[in-house]
Amino acid sequence: MLSTLPVHATADSPKKPRAPDLHGRLLSSRQLSLALAAPLSDEDQTVQPMDDASPTKWHLAHTTWFYESFILKPNLPDYREFAADFEYCFNSYYESKGARQPRGRRGLLTRPSAQQVRDYRAHVDRELGRLFTEGFVDDGPDPLVAMLELGINHEQQHQELLLTDILSLFAYQPLRPAYREPQPKPEPQVAAEPMQFIAFDGGIRGIGYDGSRFSYDNEGPRHDVLLYPYRLADRCVTNGEWLAFMEAGGYGEPLLWLADGWTTVKSQAWDAPGYWEERDGVWHQMTLEGLLPVDPRAPVTHISYYEANAFANWAGKRLPTEFEWEAASAGYEVAGNDLGTGALRPRPAGPGNGRLTQMFGDVWEWTSSAYLPYPGYRPAPGAVGEYNGKFMVSQNVLRGGSCATPTGHVRASYRNFFYPQQRWQFTGLRLAEDAA
């Protein structure tokens, strides 16, 4: 699951000049969620294919509930809630907020209807506007600005989830529907560049967020780590390279796998990445543009940590630590094939020319690092402190964002985390090796 937690942010300019920009970004974020849901029918928006995924309607309502519960009710004195029972329907993990619909049963919420959810969003959006027009944000305390920033980033996380969850739903459909029609490929049909490894010196490196704008609490405190010299692949592992792993019997060789991974492979009958299926001797993968032939040049995606680790073992390499990944990202622009490009799937890497490519966007990159607190970490007080801290066990960190991550959402210090068996997100890998 994506982290949705407390903000570690400070105002870097006076509040009065900042508020109009904040209001504009809030409105844009709210509009983007509706735009992402627009190609879907109301029936599409109600169904839940598995426990990890949630219905589109629920994402639209939950992000709205967040603003209502954490921002409007505490800060707008005459606010009137839209419907009292929505608290139960659309709370997620906030135990301190009371009882809620179980996660695996969100698809049973045929009521409220999708139209009622849209009406709920419109109601909350109008009331959020009042915070700005009536001066609550300009004259309000810094915590309100911080909570609004958190609300925007929280909604961006659910925008990515909305897309990956609808992909999961459509992959279960016998008709294999497409979220949108396939788009022309801008890149020429050429072979992937051979993988190169870029060397990085060891030493003491600062890790964690060090700026004054928004970040999640799990990105800090900033601290020093000791790195030994290492090399990092200049691009992500491709589908073509993964096919070679499959043809070499990688899914059938227990010596490549962690014990829990091997148990998962056998119990789930995995023999390929998620959403892959073979038709007439050709591997296809379900995408947001429907079932398409696997592009051998594009980064492999929808793989679990177990699969990523097994592939690294087969290749004679390893996965990078999250600290190696973050240190290597220094000096690179936080830009790439994310939601803003409109590709909606990973793209082949361009020439590396001695530099790293695909560090941001395309696929979330598994690291070998367990998701744990940094030294000195303390969860925020109150209900918003429930998420990150209580999930710091039994999960692994991923870095870099994906083709479904909203533009501007990630940073070099951004820590995503999933359980090692999960693969419905756009997850892939980059190889690493020791330099000494």
Q: Which residues pair with 286 in a beta bridge?
A: 291
Nearest-angstrom CA–CA distance, 397 and 265:
21
Name residues of the chain where pLDDT drops below 70. Answer: 1-20, 138-141, 186-190, 386
DSSP string, 238-301: BHHHHHHHHHTTGGG-GGGS-HHHHHHHHHHT--SSTTEEEETTEEEEEETTEEEE--TTSBP-
Nearest-angstrom CA–CA distance, 384 and 386:
5
DSSP string, 99-157: ----GGGGGG---S-HHHHHHHHHHHHHHHHHHHHTTHHHHS-HHHHHHHHHHHHHHHH
Q: Domain limits of the chain?
A: 15-172, 197-434
Coil/strand/helix, residue 403: coil
- The string of pLDDT tens digits covering residues 415-427 is 999 999 999 999 9
**pLDDT for the residue 190:** 66
CATH topology of domain 15-172: Four Helix Bundle (Hemerythrin (Met), subunit A) (1.20.120)
Nearest-angstrom CA–CA distance, 165 and 49:
8
Q: Which two tokens stand for residue 106?
A: 């969100």
CATH code reported for the domain at 197-434: 3.90.1580.10
Q: Nearest 5°: CA angle at 156, between 152 and 162?
A: 140
pTM, to two decimals: 0.93
**pLDDT for the residue 13:** 33
**pLDDT for the residue 19:** 56
**pLDDT for the residue 385:** 75
Domains 15-172 and 197-434 alike in fold: no
**pLDDT for the residue 433:** 98
**pLDDT for the residue 98:** 84
**pLDDT for the residue 145:** 92
Answer whether 229's CB lies under 8 Å from 197's CB.
no
Comparing CA positions, the residue from 270, 235, 260, 434 lying closest to residue 353 is: 235
β-strand 364-370 against 427-428: which pairing, if any?
Answer: parallel
Nearest-angstrom CA–CA distance, 283 and 292:
9
